[in-house]
Amino acid sequence: MLTSRAFILAFVLAQFPPPAVDVAKHAAPAWLEPYRDATGRLLGEALGSDAAWQRLAYLGDTYGHRLSGSGNLEAAIRWAVEEMKRDGLENVHTEAVKVPHWVRGRESLEIAGAIPQPLVMLGLGGSVGTPAAGIDAEVLVVHSFEELDAAADRVRGKIVLFNVPFTNYGDTVRFRALGPSRAGALGAAAMLVRAVGPAGLRTPHTGALTYADNQPKIPAAALTTEDTARIQRMVDRGTTVRLKLMMEAHVLPDADSFNVVGEIRGRELPNEIIAIGGHFDSWDVGTGSTDDGGGCVVTWEALRMMKKLNLRPRRTVRVVLWTNEENGTRGGTAYRDQHAGELANHVMMLESDGGVFRPTGFGFSGTEQGRARVRDIATLLAGIHADTIGSTGGGADIGPSAQQAGIPSMSLEVDGNYFLLHHTPADTIDKIDPLEMSRSAAAVAVMTYVIAEMPERLR
């Protein structure tokens, strides 16, 4: 008869058989033997339940989007505190953060003319609004900052549209972030940017902009790939295209918000901390399930499972639901400042902010000694194919602390259509597979538990 541990591992392998093509794997070292029982229990608990998915579904269904400054976010924070207490987590509390309070208001965009044609858009986070009557102006399509500068004598009074195909987020997002000030400096009336993400089904992507201090602030919005292509075709035919843009966007005084903290206190080294989490805020479209409700829930789930299974590691495991990542990263900065005295005792920080699709492993930033240890631990996750360790790890919320104190940092790595969904109305729970989310929670739980339980500190 199989032991309980062997049964669980056999179940996992049956659910997720090895790939058809053999892939060289890092052999499991002998030092991991004491952790195999806990690994099997955590995997069994995660994969035998859809608790993580159900909690995320409740969050989105009940509270909707969670934009910084909104009542939605603050109600969700209160719920999270009560749920963590119900889970039996320790030292559950909130930590105050002042956050920006931007309000979208009503907005619309259309091709002006005898037969007005509505277009699908989303104002960019932090944008100013238009005059009450809107802005009616000719569009100037450009494909790079260099092309914008070359057309400087034709920009004034026009609506500049950056038609830049999505390649990857790092390369393309600069047009969303910097485009408004670059166009405003040349006298543009407003700026539009092709949605920063893969082509969807006429889905616009919002996101933050960054106004330069010494340039005019002009209204800015994202336009769907399909509507951008339509305008491009019309311009290519020699048509003068006029657009009418209306945006009520405005900024209110900073609002009160909170990071949410819960712990399992370490049994031997409670002052040494492994901090994991995601950001609890989202943009004001969709329900922020992929970005980043899922990351919050799978890291939270790691502690819930440890508590349920009575797995109390040597060191403290802390989950943090950070506020205001999307339009300010003030939650991560506040955590760094409020915990400055204990940052040196942070053994590792992990952030999940790339979705909770099929987990492939983790990114890691730290020493080569630390990387070797993490690579060893990842062999425990070979059964769910989450044993790859990437070259870099981290996140916007853990970054301020990790950089200041030189803390090893990790990120959950997954295989899924994150950039198709994030910052869009399509970011809802139905895009997330319950089993993939359970596997993500399992991977986070095992990696976190072993690092917290090892006799020696991860270095």
Enzyme catalytic residues: 325
Residue listed under structure tokens 């920006």: 100
Residue 17 DSSP symbol: P
Indicate the helix (H) or strand (E) that contains 258.
Answer: strand 250-264
Strand pairing partners for 103?
A: 250
Report the C-alpha gap between 168 and 156 in whole angstroms. Answer: 30
Query: Which secondary-structure segment (H or E) carries 390?
Result: strand 388-390
DSSP H or E run through 75: helix 71-87
Sheet of strand 135-142: strand arrangement: 117-119, 107-111, 242-247, 135-142, 159-162, 190-194, 220-223, 121-123
Strands 242-247 and 159-162: unpaired
- Calpha distance 172→167 (Å, rounded): 7
The C-alpha atoms of residue 455 and residue 459 are separated, in whole angstroms, by: 12
Alpha carbons 194 and 171: distance in angstroms, whole number: 13
- Cβ(394)–Cβ(425) below 8 Å: no
Structure tokens, 384 = 């769910």
Closest CA to 311 of 32, 121, 88, 9: 88
CA gap 379, 37 in Å, rounded: 14
Q: Which letter, b or e, does each residue of 3-20 get, where b requires 16 or more Cβ atoms within 10 Å of its Cβ?
A: eebeebbebbeeebeeee
Q: How far apart are CA 290 and CA 60, in angstroms?
A: 10
Ranges of beta strands (E only) in 10-89 are none
Residues in the chain: 459
* Strand-pair partners of 190: 159
- Amino acid identity for residue 140 in this structure: L
Question: Would you call 414 helix, strand, or coil by DSSP?
Answer: strand
